[in-house]
Homo-oligomer: A and B are copies of this chain.
Amino acid sequence: MEKCDKRDLIVRAALELVAEQGFHGAPMAMIADKAGVGAGTIYRYFENKDALIRGIYCMVEARVVAAILKDYPDNGPVRERFMHFGTVLVNYLASAPLELRFVEQFHNSPFGVDHRREKIFGKGEKDIISELFQEAIEQQIFKPLPLSILFALFFSPLIDVCRDQILGFINLDQELIEQTVGACWDAVRR
């Protein structure tokens, strides 16, 4: 319990610092300080800073997936399920600035590329989202494009929009979110 507790404190502190200040602004000592633990303690839970960063990413990813899958309309029509994905994703990220900023930092770094490579060429345990895309392609609901292009068409704009919302460049409301997700749907559907 203790162990998990500290680990969590460390992760939270690092997440916040990286999100707000970038990797540069998150030295281990500062993370430890913010977490209220000794600097050396971090190394009990993570082999080194890279491992810590990757650990945080996994956690964030898991949370996002969990959010998306909550109330997921398993048996609804394809469009409804995609709209669910999109709106929940935007609602989640737009209200989780730290997670979003962190993820963006992560994606552009040696980490990001490796992680993406792993994901695409890796053992490929089927996840529910990929499956849904696959299904939509097979049912000829989606354009006959490679999976990763469809991913880009559907998710990239949403993440960008969340970032702009967080940075105060736009002001999302539910209607705007639905319109935007709808636009992404238009991009992928036949």
Contacts and interface: CB of A to CB of B under 8 A. Distances in A.
Interface of A: 21-25, 104-105, 107-110, 113, 116-117, 120, 143, 145-146, 148-149, 152-153, 156-157, 159-161, 164, 167, 169-170, 176, 179-180, 183-184, 186-189
A153 B153 CA distance: 8
Nearest to A144: B179
B170 A149 contact: yes
B143 A153 contact: no
Given A120-B169, A157-B153, A160-B152, A183 B145 contact: yes
A169 B108 contact: no
Contacts of A187: 153, 157, 183-184, 186-187
B157 A152 contact: yes
A99 to B, nearest CB: 14
